[in-house]
Amino acid sequence: MALNIVVCLKQVPNPDLQFQINAEGTDLKRDALNYRTNGADEYALEEAVRLKEKHGGRVVTMTVGPKRTEQMLREALAKGGDEAVRVAYEDPAAFDSVKVARILAAAIKTIPHDLVLAGVQSDDYINSLTGGEIARTLGHPHASVVTKVAIDGGTLTVNRELEGGDQEVVQLAMPAVLTIQFGINTPRYAPLPAIMKAARQPIKEITPSALGANSWDDFARGYTFRVRRLSLPEAKGHAEMFTGGVTDQAKKLAQVLREKGFYRG
């Protein structure tokens, strides 16, 4: 059967960089950040495109975020997405991940879907809650940390990664939500013609009214959320740090290994 697949993508600040906090202590200094597609979401997109190539169907790529996320959606189109949807929640930080997940669920509900794929976590906030929230909100079965997907008719058979290297094999009925683990596949690069084509493709925008809401705050009913304070981790003073030239550091490393009895040459 042809599959309608929605892939949830998030644009995150490159986590390999160093970060500074704004004067109020409520957000990062965002002007200096560069953004990229969340790591696990790249695997979710690739898995969606492979499933489409095998079974037929369409892949809708969707994000919740400001205008800058259009760049990410175009990359996703170039890598095999058929449509792109930006839910126009403009908060650049979007720390309240439950609110974002509820918005995503409402947006997905407006699109025919057999399968919803999301990354297992976002590299910035590391919540691992989006897939689960979407699934339960839509009333779909859900499997997290998926490392293998097979489809037979309306049934999914998936491997879920557990801790300690073990896996669990489970079955679930579609429509379903899966969170995809790193390493499930090898994400492709976008070919140049596809990049050119994606640059001209329209990106659909979803506003609160399209989801029957007055404002995005309607999706945070029942609780209030606030960032109290961001800070840099306290240096635990654990490590004795060595800096300087490589030769000096190499001498120190050799010295530590000898003194601790790890080298008996």
Partner 1 sequence: MADEILVVAEHREGKLVATTLELVSLGRSLAQQTGGSVKVALPAHGGNLAPKLAEYAEVLVANDPHLEHYSPGGYEQAILAIAAAITPRVILVPHSSQGFDLAPAVAVALDAPLVTNCVALSIEGATLVATRKILNDKIVAQVELSSDRPYVATIRPAAMKAAEPLPSSAPITSIRVEIDASKLGTKFLRYEKPEVQDIDIATADIVVSAGRGIKEKKNLVIVEEFAKVLGGVVGASRPLTDMEWLPKTRQVGQSGKTVRPKLYIACGISGAMQHVSGMKDAGTIIAINTDPSAPIFEVAHYGFTANVLELLPAAMKELRGG
Which residues ranging from 179 to 208 are in contact with partner 1 (CB under 8 A)? Answer: 179, 181-183
DSSP type of residue 28? B
224 near partner 1, judged by CB under 8 A: yes
Element (H, E) at 173: strand 167-173
159 near partner 1, judged by CB under 8 A: yes
Closest by CA position to 50, among listed 115, 102, 128: 115
- Closer residue to partner 1 in complex, CB, 77/106: 106
CA distances from 84 to 107, 176, 229 (A): 12, 20, 35
Distance from CA of residue 77 to its chain's centroid?
16
- Closer residue to partner 1 in complex, CB, 10/74: 10
Q: Which residues in the 8-67 window bind partner 1 by CB under 8 A?
A: 13, 15-16, 18-19, 21, 28
- Tokens coding 125: 């906030």
Q: Which residues in the 94-133 window bind partner 1 by CB under 8 A?
A: 95, 97-98, 101, 120, 123-129, 131-133
Contacting residue, 36, 50, 55, 136, with partner 1 by CB under 8 A: 136
Task: List phi, psi (to 5°) of 242.
Answer: -120, 135
- Closer residue to partner 1 in complex, CB, 191/225: 225
Contacting residue, 24, 166, 193, 202, with partner 1 by CB under 8 A: 166
What single letter denotes the amino acid at residue 134? I
Residue 216 Cβ vs partner 1, minimum distance, rounded to whole Å: 16
Span near partner 1 by CB under 8 A; candidates 59-67, 73-81, 136-144, 197-205: 136-144
Residue 193 Cβ vs partner 1, minimum distance, rounded to whole Å: 27
- Closer residue to partner 1 in complex, CB, 200/229: 229
Residue 107 Cβ vs partner 1, minimum distance, rounded to whole Å: 16
DSSP string, 110-170: TS--SEEEEES--TTT----HHHHHHHHHT--EEEEEEEEEEETTEEEEEEE-GGG-EEEE
- Tokens coding 120: 């297992």
CA 86 – CA 70 distance, rounded (Å): 7
Contacting residue, 24, 31, 165, 193, with partner 1 by CB under 8 A: 165
DSSP string, 137-150: HHT--EEEEEEEEE
230 near partner 1, judged by CB under 8 A: yes
152 near partner 1, judged by CB under 8 A: no
Residue 95 Cβ vs partner 1, minimum distance, rounded to whole Å: 7
Number of residues that bind partner 1 (CB under 8 A): 83
Rounded to the nearest 10 degrees, the angle between the axes of helix 192-200 and helix 69-78 is 130
- Closer residue to partner 1 in complex, CB, 157/215: 157
